[in-house]
Amino acid sequence: MIKIAIYPGTFDPITNGHVDVIERASQMFHKVIVVVAVNSKKSTLFDEQERLEMARQALGHLENIEVDSTTGLTVDFAREKGAKAIIRGIRAISDFEYEFQIALMNRKIEPGIHTVFLMPHEKYTYLNSSIIRELSRYGQDVSEFVPAYVVQKLKEKIVE
């Protein structure tokens, strides 16, 4: 049986912390689908297509990764794709409380899909996309925090 997992997120933009979690998940599952979440109520710097492209560029070195998007519930997307797990990155205890609630609700909706929590490498525990966007707006070098392609896209977007 092929074991499929999904890793959902806004990825606005994808960071090295995300890539780290995805690389480790790719060693645990036959296939990992990185899911760019599209939420009309959430304002993003990058549109859906830009976020998909950045994720594809950042993850191109991994053979068992697919990048897709959804506007619906993560658990529904996982069910449609035949996934047995939803990967969630946990940086701190504060992340866990929220993620724990979502995991329990997902289990209630679909008991056959499990949530797997992965911690990023400790050098990425303080890193999130909001911080990257803010640093970029102020002209700071973010090249150690995001893939090179993302650095370029941030420079293009911030100058616009």
Q: Is the pLDDT of residue 159 over 70?
A: no
Residue 114 appears among annotated catalytic residues: no
Collect all residues with Cβ–Cβ distance below 8 Å to 84 and sequence separation of at least 6: 3, 4, 5, 112, 113, 114
Active-site residue (options: 40, 42, 94, 108) = 42
Residue 160 confidence (pLDDT) above 70: no
17-27 mean pLDDT = 97
pTM score > 0.85 for this model? yes
The fraction of the chain above a pLDDT of 70, given in percent, is: 99
* One-letter identity of residue 38: V
Q: Nearest CA to 25 among 50, 1, 8, 37?
A: 8
Encode pLDDT of 125-142 as tens digits: 888 999 999 999 999 999
18 is known as an active-site residue = yes
- Catalytic-labelled residue, pool 84, 91, 107, 114: 91
Q: What confidence tens digit (pLDDT) does each residue in 74-129 have?
A: 999 999 999 999 999 998 887 888 899 999 999 999 999 999 999 999 998 888 99
Looking at residue 91, the DSSP 8-state letter turns out to be: -
In the block, residue with structure tokens 């995805």: 22
Let me know if 42 is a catalytic residue: yes
Active-site residue among 18, 51, 88, 133?
A: 18
- Name the catalytic one among 88, 129, 133, 136: 129
Give the C-alpha separation, 35 to 32, whole Å: 9
CA gap 3, 112 in Å, rounded: 13
Domains of the chain: residue spans and CATH = 4-159 (3.40.50.620)
- The answer to whether residue 91 is catalytic is yes
- Kindly list the distances between the CA atom of residue 111 and the CA atoms of 34, 103, 154, in Å, as whole numbers in the listed order: 21, 10, 39
